[in-house]
Amino acid sequence: MGESVVPLADLRYAASVPAIPARLQEPTGHLNDRLARPLRDLRISVTDRCNFRCGYCMPREVFGRDYQFLPHSSLLTFEEITRLTCIFAAHGVAKVRLTGGEPLLRKGIEQLVAMLVDLRGADGRPLEVTLTTNGSLLARKAQALQAAGLSRVTVSLDALDDAIFRRMNDADFPLADVLAGIDAARSAGLAPIKVNMVVQRGVNDDQVLPMARHFRGSGIVLRFIEYMDVGATNGWRMDQVVPSVQLLERLQAAWPLEPMPANAAGETAERWRYRDGSGEVGFISSVTRAFCRDCNRARLSTEGKLFTCLFASRGHDLRALLRGGRSDLEISSALHDLWGQRSDRYSELRSAHSAAAAGDERRIEMHYIGG
């Protein structure tokens, strides 16, 4: 398939500049939305670039060599990211996850990690700072990330067969280098390590058992993610989704499993452990078992747009407030109102087979906002 040029405007997203409330409010450390969901988790995309071209995220026919990524001047600076994170933390955010694109492509990412780990949450505790990566640069970056204070790392890996892995990443990148990155992260002490596998029927679902076999007993938590309808470029079809219940049945046939309690409120993965003590696996089932009612995550794009749902179609331009000279209290008050008005529950509506209710607007792309 030939590469095509997609105009820049076609893959950017509308965002309104949030209004500053007439009455400014000091943050209380706890902020609920309209469905009583607290703000606890902030996911920050630090770059829209990636060195892979996985079909479910950045298909090459769309994101080809002529695709125009954001200029550096459009990206939030590390100081701007840190300032916004501090404001979010005052409202109750306790965990920050750095995403992309591929976050390790952002020059000096270790510096940002060091800046964020110095921040405190509303409870006075240091923020938990984590990172999700495709693992391609992890072998050379793991030690520096750990030294900067990164809490732990999650690696996206969709196959244990090198040919399948190269075909899926569409960059001819070798599996061995990602496995070396995982080993380096473990040696550096970035634990517990999680590995995320997006499962697509007919593409890599034959890799489920090999992946489980490989990571059993390693201390690494393997999580299976249902192929999701994020964005509009990945050609998502329901018949490519392998429901988590079917994946659990496959694993149960090989190794007995038993359910585990969630680590924390709002956790997306259902946890299961091997009965022989060989570790645990997780299932993230946003297609067949929507978890909208517990979602406590806000997402900040590379250029400073706030999205209150992974499946959102419109954002809120916080960068405009930062660069427009607004004070921390003004931005905090605007965030208070934005989150207080939040009622997103796309996956629940989709699960109820109500496309009209879920909305037909074009949704943000995975590479732009992270997972």
Residue range 8-369, CATH number: 3.20.20.70
Under the banding of pLDDT at 50, 70 and 90, the label for residue 312 is: confident
**φ and ψ at residue 133, rounded to 5 degrees:** -140, 160
Dihedral of the alpha carbons of 186, 190, 192, 197, in degrees to the nearest 10? -80
The predicted structure's pLDDT at residue 112: 98
The predicted structure's pLDDT at residue 365: 67
| CB 153, CB 147: distance < 8 Å | no
The predicted structure's pLDDT at residue 9: 40
Summarised one tens digit per residue, pLDDT across range 98-122 is 999 999 999 999 999 999 999 999 9
| CB 103, CB 47: distance < 8 Å | yes
Q: Is residue 214 pLDDT above 90, yes or no?
A: yes
pTM of the model as a whole = 0.91
Q: Is residue 15 pLDDT above 90, yes or no?
A: no
Average pLDDT over residues 144-158: 97
Summarised one tens digit per residue, pLDDT across range 317-337 is 999 999 999 999 999 999 999
| Bridge partners for 306 per DSSP | 300, 316
CA distance 100 to 199: 20
The predicted structure's pLDDT at residue 190: 95
The predicted structure's pLDDT at residue 89: 98
CA distance 348 to 310: 13
Q: Which of 106-115, 251-260, 285-294, 360-369 has the lowest mean pLDDT?
A: 360-369
% of the chain surpassing 70 pLDDT: 87
Q: Is residue 14 pLDDT above 90, yes or no?
A: no
Under the banding of pLDDT at 50, 70 and 90, the label for residue 346 is: low
Question: By C-alpha distance, which of 119, 142, 141 is closest to 44?
Answer: 119
Under the banding of pLDDT at 50, 70 and 90, the label for residue 355 is: very low
Question: By C-alpha distance, which of 75, 138, 76, 148 is closest to 113?
Answer: 148
Rg of the chain (C-alpha set) = 20
Give CA angle at 93 (76, 83), nearest 5°: 30
CA distance 316 to 281: 35
The predicted structure's pLDDT at residue 268: 81
Domain locations in the chain as residue ranges: 8-369
Summarised one tens digit per residue, pLDDT across range 48-77 is 999 999 988 888 988 898 999 999 999 999
Under the banding of pLDDT at 50, 70 and 90, the label for residue 10 is: very low
Residue 65, judged by CB atoms within 10 A of its CB (0-12, 13-18, 19+), counts as exposed
